[in-house]
Amino acid sequence: MSTYGDNKNEALRAYHGVLEGDTNDMELAWLQAQPNVSAANLVDAWDEFMDSLSITTGEINDRWFEWLSGLGYLDETLTDKFNEFWKNPL
């Protein structure tokens, strides 16, 4: 069974077409490729991404939970939701 980290790394590497690289750098580049995201760091990029989706209430974990639930990931935990998301990201 693949883990959240495995799925995330595999998805980001496939997106960028690379076999190696820092996961945070790849995640930032993925976020910067989304509409209305231009932040230079991961925390601000996630905030901009969530703001662009009009998900503005709560801490980042609350916002991620709302976003992933809205995409149809019905798992109970945020980790499980992200695990499923990274199997087939946007």
Q: Which amino acid is at 77?
A: T
Are the CB atoms for 83 and 4 separated by under 8 Å? yes
Calculate the CA 48 to chain-centre distance.
12
Total-model pTM: 0.86
Domain boundaries, the chain: 4-87
Q: Say what the pLDDT of residue 47 is.
A: 97
**How high is the mean pLDDT in each 10-residue block of the chain (90 residues)?**
81 76 88 94 97 95 97 93 86
CA distance 83 to 1: 11
